[in-house]
Amino acid sequence: TYASMKKLYMAEIEGELSTVKIALTRLMRLHQIVCGHLPDDNGAVHPVKSNRIHALMEILEGTAGQVIIWANYRESIFAIKKAIIDEYGAEQVLTYFGDTSDDERALVKEVFFRGNDTKGYRFLIANQAAGGFGLNLTGATTAIYFSNDYDNEKRTQSEARNFRIGQVEPVTYIDLVSRGTVDEKIIK
């Protein structure tokens, strides 16, 4: 799917049919395919075969303590949450993105602040735009980037959520990158 869509998009971009808006949309669509879903022009989202969730779950098996998983797309957040619930249970995961209720946001701030994890939550799935600024998440010592974007400021700020004053543990950052895809360009 990725290779055929890339070929189609490159033909559009190199032809006279393209605008900057179209080119950027096509890059985002390629990234969404890598992340396991593809929205069509009517707004419907279609799952796409991807090993990214499987790779994430393998990484989670090898982690201890609290983990933040950063994901750009709502569909990714929903898929990650389902996989974690299936493996670890609903009482282990919270989210922090545009659809997150005020009550759950307050709970995230309480649970993922160092020393306040009395409720047993291990995983936080967050969007960098919503959770990457202003939070103190020093309770987590692992941050996994399920997906990145081209905004380095969001990346820097999201990393700073774990590594703040009061963090006494080393913090591990892990990026999921699909070789030969737009992921490599984003990381660069």
Task: Assess contact for 119 and 148: CB atoms under 8 A.
Answer: no
What pTM value is reported for the model? 0.88
- Give the pLDDT of residue 150: 85
H-only helix segments in 35-174: 52-61, 74-88, 102-111, 128-131, 152-162
**33, 6 in Cβ contact below 8 A?**
no
Confidence of residue 4 (pLDDT cuts 50, 70, 90): confident
d(CA 187, CA 27): 14
Q: Is the pLDDT of residue 50 over 60?
A: yes
In this predicted structure, the answer to whether residue 86 has a pLDDT above a threshold of 90 is: yes
Q: Mean pLDDT over residues 101-119, rounded? A: 80
Q: What is the pLDDT of residue 130?
A: 87
Indicate whether 83 pLDDT > 80. yes
